Chains A and B, each alone.
Chain A
Amino acid sequence: MTTTLIDAAEQAEAALLILHKKFMSGNRPPDALAPLNEAALKHFELLKFPHRKHEMYTFVNTKDLVATAFALTAEGSVTEDFIKSHVFPECESSYLVFVDGVLKGDLSDFSAIESAIAIVPIEEAVGQADIKEHLVDTIEKENDVFASINSAFLGEGTLIDVSAKKQVTSPLQILHVSTGTPSGKVTSHPRVLVRLGEMAELKMIVKYVGVQGNYFVNSVMDLLVGEQAGVTFAQVQEDATDAWHFSKTRVLQGRNSRVKAVNAFFGNKLTRHHFEAHLKDVGAELTLNNVSVLNEQEQAHHFVRIHHESPHTRSGQKFKNIVNDKSRSSVDGTVIVNQGAQQTFSDQLINNLMLSDDAHADNKPNLMIFADDVKCTHGATVGQLDENQLFYLKTRGLSEKVAKELLTKSFAESIIQTIDFPGVVQYLENTLLKKLEN
């Protein structure tokens, strides 16, 4: 059994190497990026495709994904109406559209924030010493094989640059559209770097959608947050139900910087999100809230690593997963407090609501603390609806059905309400929470 698994992984690796050759020889990547592509590919060969025994993929079965042969996406077409239907009201003149990982200027409109941000193609941005250093460094240190693959195919990435003291007043929406195909399997590797200078402020909404299915979107977003800068963002994963969604959000935080992130996942064939944060300097603060609502055989998995690398850093994480039918969710979350990162404060809470006996929720909260003056908590719960809450609502005349639906929705709502964008909150209430009605 083990041999077959390893054989399958080896075959998949060979297939990927061939795909990469095609990518390089097809003259896709600009010269400036080719050395990074090669370095990332070498790193991929070192990391290898995961199998179930892999520590990072304990809860995520990647067998089908790895065994599937993907072609690189030929950019498909998207209608303007489709785009418009996925732009949030607060971003009507401040959105960037990426189709299969490629920024489409003609489909985007960021006139409202043009003066506050610079949009730079990655092949140009790599000419800047610190961006190059960041890319080289993260390729070398990458521990996630799928993020390595993203870098190996890096060609079209984009840098969103907010210079020091700039405040971007309208939220920026990044819309990732995967066009997919009616037949065959395609893959794309969107890459976005967001850099905030000292004291800059940015609000951002990232949304993933698909036109058709049969695709594997493998996205990476890097957030480089300067001293005293602040980012508030929400990520909405709403890909086609028969798509694979892998994404990594990497956050590097400077002194006294603030990051607030909320992820809302609809799930699909297999969604896995890797959130890696480095609170590098004194006073950095991070809030990470997550909600998933999964039905049928949908899956959504979180892999989270938060590194407290300096004193007086704070992080707070909340996860609420609702699993119905035969769906699966997992949270594998570790907080690492480095030696010397004294006065760190960290908490993590994972709550799972099981609506079916066949649903599955795995949790692995973990703390690794190498400092002695810190306050860290973590916890996880798995359960059904609270009997006392149900009784309370019924004593007010609500029927069992209405009370149950209200409680189930409220479980997710408590995370949705932490999103700072009213358009996104309303959208999720009308879509994500709709999944709980039947």
Chain B
Amino acid sequence: MLEVKDLRAGFDGSEIIKGISLSVKAGEVHAIMGPNGSGKSTLAKVLAGHPSYEVTGGEISFNGENLLEIEPEQRALKGIFMGFQYPVEIPGVNNAEFLRMAYNARLVNEGQEELDPLDFDDILTEKMKMLSMEKKYRERNLNDGFSGGEKKKNEILQMAILQPKLAVLDETDSGLDIDALRVVSDGVNKLKSADNALILITHYQRLLEYIQPDFVHVLSQGKIVKSGEKGLALELEAQGYDWLTPTN
């Protein structure tokens, strides 16, 4: 589904990702772990197509298509979803209305008819129930004045509604208390299927107790320094990130 080959990318002229290769197949859950500043979030932003990040080398293909030539909105329509580490607040944009616009953008792209507010309401109600989100979130403005936990839940709500093929969740767990983490993880687990894939970017092993990864990659100084199965996360938890020595 996703093939990353020797990816190099940076911000403002400085290289942050220094040659990452990664292969993600449908049905798989990959966890990318690493200390602060290792390039985890940059990888997420490059996958989503953030205009401030510059790709200086390598390739990314998604279902055989060169992703680097496609605008962020096209990537989204092709089924890539990024859960933001810091979801952006947009005062004046109603949450439910925004969710319907995003949902309809995908329908239209697939040649289907848009849903009117009433029909969409049924979908929204069901998804919000799944995430134990109170009704008030539909009336409120997009992330405006939401707490950290509320914002993260709202990201997963968007994921639930958009049903992406590949979801990249950038530190969705940070800032969540244990109850919220459980709700969010349950939600993500329900959305998992043999047809979609998940990349979890996290600093903490705790998330992986709730969402079981198939593969764990350790990122340090812009490179994957170790890949393994689920056990690697436990190893990291026990040893911390200090054992990671610079490889260049």
Contact = CB atoms under 8 A, between A and B. Distances in A.
B73 A417 contact: no
B52 A397 contact: no
Contacts of B141: 410, 414
A160 interface: no
Interface stretch (A109-117, A173-181, A204-212, A400-408): A400-408
A392 B84 contact: yes
Contacts of B50: 391
Interface string A381-410: 000001111011111111110110011011
Nearest to B104: A397
A413 B144 CA distance: 13
Nearest to A392: B88
A413 B88 contact: no
Interface string B89-112: 011110000100110011001000
A396 B158 contact: yes
Contacts of B48: 391, 395
A399 B91 contact: no
B51 interface: yes
Contacts of B162: 396-397
B207 interface: no
Contacts of B106: 397
Contacts of B105: 396-399, 402
Contacts of B150: none
A397 B51 contact: no
Contacts of A23: none
Contact of B90 (A387, A389, A397, A412): A389
A410 B84 contact: no
B72 interface: yes
B93 A413 contact: yes
Nearest to A408: B92
Interface size for chain B: under 10, 10 to 19, 20 to 34, or 35 or more residues? Answer: 20 to 34
B90 A394 contact: no
B181 interface: no
B133 interface: no
B73 A397 contact: yes
A397 B92 contact: no
Interface in A352-405: 386-389, 391-400, 402-403
Interface string A138-167: 000000000000000000000000000000
A397 B76 CA distance: 5
A395 B76 contact: yes
B191 interface: no
Given A396-B76, A410-B90, A414-B92, A387 B52 contact: yes
A275 interface: no
A389 B50 CA distance: 11
A411 interface: yes
A398 B73 contact: yes
A399 B102 CA distance: 10
Contacts of B98: 393, 396, 406
Given A389-B88, A394-B76, A413-B93, A406 B101 contact: yes
Interface of A: 386-389, 391-400, 402-403, 406-407, 409-414, 417
Query: Which 9 A-B residue pairs are closest in the complex by CB-CB distance?
Result: A410-B92, A413-B92, A414-B92, A397-B76, A397-B105, A396-B102, A392-B88, A394-B72, A394-B73
27 contacts: A387-B51, A389-B88, A391-B51, A392-B87, A394-B71, A394-B72, A394-B73, A395-B81, A395-B82, A395-B84, A396-B98, A396-B162, A397-B109, A398-B101, A398-B102, A400-B71, A402-B101, A402-B105, A403-B73, A407-B90, A407-B93, A409-B92, A410-B141, A413-B92, A414-B92, A414-B141, A417-B92
